[in-house]
Amino acid sequence: MSSNQLTPRQIVERLDQYIIGQGEAKRAVAIALRSRWRRQNVPKELAEEISPKNIIMIGPTGVGKTEIARRLAKLDSSPFMKVEASKFTEVGYVGRDVESMVRDLVELSVNMVKSEEQENVKVRAAELAEERLLDILLPPKPVEKKVEDMLADRPPDAEQADLPLPVDTTREKIRRLLHEGKLDSRSVEIEIQEVRPGPMIEIFSSAGVEDMGLNIKEMFGNIFPQKKKVRKVNVPEAIELLTQEEAQRLVDMDKVTKAAVERVEQSGIIFLDEIDKIVGGDGAHGPDVSREGVQRDLLPIVEGSNVNTRYGMVRSDHILFIAAGAFSATKPSDLIPELQGRFPIRVELDSLGKDEFIRILTEPHNALIKQYVEMLATEGLNIIFQEDAIAEIAEVATVVNEKTENIGARRLYTIMETLLDEISFDAPDMTEKEIVIDADYVRGKLSEIVEDEDLSRYIL
């Protein structure tokens, strides 16, 4: 399919840029992703038979489960969505809601394909937009033809000295001014399709609000024709708006939805977070839906079924499911057996210690230390974290995780905030522009809190 399909090794490399350690989990998702590409390349009859190798990621809180999913989503062009399994246990839930994740995924895929298509026609759309804008800046005058010219089918001549420049040259002149940005401050009136939501009509029916509501809106959308709206904008804005409109016109939506559905069916990924929250403890208390009930509702979708969406039936057979959960009080084997069988791959994530914390603080592209340095640089401050300071922060995080509750890398956030609280507040008023943070500074700020267990429970 897509030529930019990454190999497992490349996938792991990309994940490494953001997530420290957790090699096993990275490998598993990398293989699962690549397997989908392989499946699409085996003979068709066999491809139908190959089901995705769904994964459960198991690990304590704050060690990178959700982070892996988030980064995975940005890796390739697969439609990717994350849902909290626990949300389906909430009040107000009806059985069909579980299917909504497939519907949402299709919606997302449509937008994705649409913007790709619009990107493809961008150049053409920009050309058309420019012509439209030129028409507005210089309305094409009907060229007066002399009767004899018309009879002879000759182009009109512009010999006469007092005649204005032929339209074409004027147009080219304006085009040049436009390209040179000389018209940027001028404002023009353009007429564009008004983007507005259809009339708000909600129909309650046994089929659920969602899909009915949408179809009705579409029906009425066609009855009330799209309104045009005149807007006064400056030239660059006009180009932008007109280009958008032309791009939309050039994109064939039927083709888009077909490709989008296909993409969901062949390479969609659903990340089911907090799956442990729908396990066990089933006394069916209160108004919440029973957790096992949610598992039963999930089953057909994970096993593969047809889901009705506004773009037609979508098969969920080959959608890849990656589930994640802390499973601190429960085990994957507490899931109903049918569901267990649909998640053949289990990977455990390791809990994080001092060495990992040091790396998490400094190595990822979005590392915390980098964030703080850049944030405070906007105030003109040059903050330098010495190596021993970073080691000390990691040490404090490890100790507090041991003494109170292990919340993994999330501990680093609270510690960094406390550590830099004073600087963060004073930054704009500071005269000393260079601040070196060493181990002593860290100890000075944090040791009192760390030693007092009650205090650290509240602050760190």
Residue 392 CB partners (closer than 8 Å, separation 6+)? 439, 442, 443
Closest to Mg ion by CB, 66 or 424:
66
| C-alpha distance across the termini of the chain, in Å | 48
Among ligand ATP, Mg ion, none, residue 21 binds (CB under 5-8 Å by kind) = ligand ATP
Residue with smaller CB distance to Mg ion, 35 or 66: 66
| Burial zone of 81 (CB within 10 Å; 0-12 exposed, 13-18 middle, 19+ buried) | buried
Stretches 60-68, 131-139, 410-418, 422-430: which one binds Mg ion (CB under 5 A)?
60-68
Residue 79 interacts, among ligand ATP, Mg ion, none and using kind-specific CB cut-offs from 5 to 8 Å, with none
State the minimum distance, in angstroms, from the CB of residue 61 to ligand ATP.
Answer: 3
228 phi and psi angles, rounded to 5 deg: -100, 150
Stretch of 44-52, 61-69, 307-315, 406-414 contacting Mg ion, by CB under 5 A: 61-69
Q: Restricting to residues 276-315, which ones interact with Mg ion according to CB under 5 A?
A: none
Please, which residue, 66 or 330, has the CB nearer to Mg ion? 66
> Nearer to ligand ATP by C-beta: 61 or 414?
61
Q: How far is the CB of 328 from ligand ATP (least distance, A)?
A: 9
- Closest contact distance (angstroms) between CB of 66 and Mg ion is 3
> Which residue's CB is nearer to ligand ATP, number 248 or number 351?
351
d(CA 326, CA 273): 10
- Tracing tokens 């289990």 back to the chain, one arrives at 346
Strand pairing category for 306-309 and 312-315: antiparallel
83/367 with CB nearer Mg ion: 83
Label residues 127-150 b or e (16+ Cβ within 10 Å = b).
Answer: ebbbebbbeebeeeeeeeeeeeee
C-beta of 53 vs 410, nearer to ligand ATP: 410
| Interacting partner of 408 out of Mg ion, ligand ATP, none (Cβ under 5 to 8 A depending on kind) | ligand ATP
Residue 364 binding partner per list ligand ATP, Mg ion, none, with a CB distance cut-off of 5 to 8 Å that depends on partner kind: ligand ATP
Residue at shortest CB range from Mg ion:
66
| Nearest-approach distance from CB 63 to Mg ion, in angstroms | 9
Q: Out of 66, 170, 193, 424, which residue is the one contacting Mg ion (CB under 5 A)?
A: 66
Distance CA 256, CA 262 (A): 10
Q: Among residues 169 and 371, whose Cβ is nearest to ligand ATP?
A: 371
Q: What gap in Å lies between CA 182 and CA 177, rounded to an integer?
A: 5
Tell the smallest beta-carbon distance from residue 424 to ligand ATP (Å).
Answer: 19
CA torsion, ordered 412, 414, 415, 416, to nearest 10 deg? 80
Nearer to Mg ion, 66 or 306 (CB): 66
Minimum CB separation from Mg ion for residue 222, in Å?
43
Shortest distance, position 272 Cβ to ligand ATP, whole Å: 12
CB 236 within 8 A of CB 48: no
Which residues are within 8 A (CB) of 99 and not within 5 positions of it... i.e. 6 or more apart?
301, 307, 308
Instruction: Please give the residue ranges that form the binding site for ligand ATP (CB under 6 A).
Output: 19-22, 59, 61-67, 326, 360, 364, 408-410
Tell me how far, at minimum, the Cβ of 273 lies from Mg ion, in Å. Answer: 5
Query: In angstroms, what is the minimal distance from the CB of 276 to ligand ATP?
Result: 8
**Sites of contact with Mg ion (CB under 5 A):** 65-66
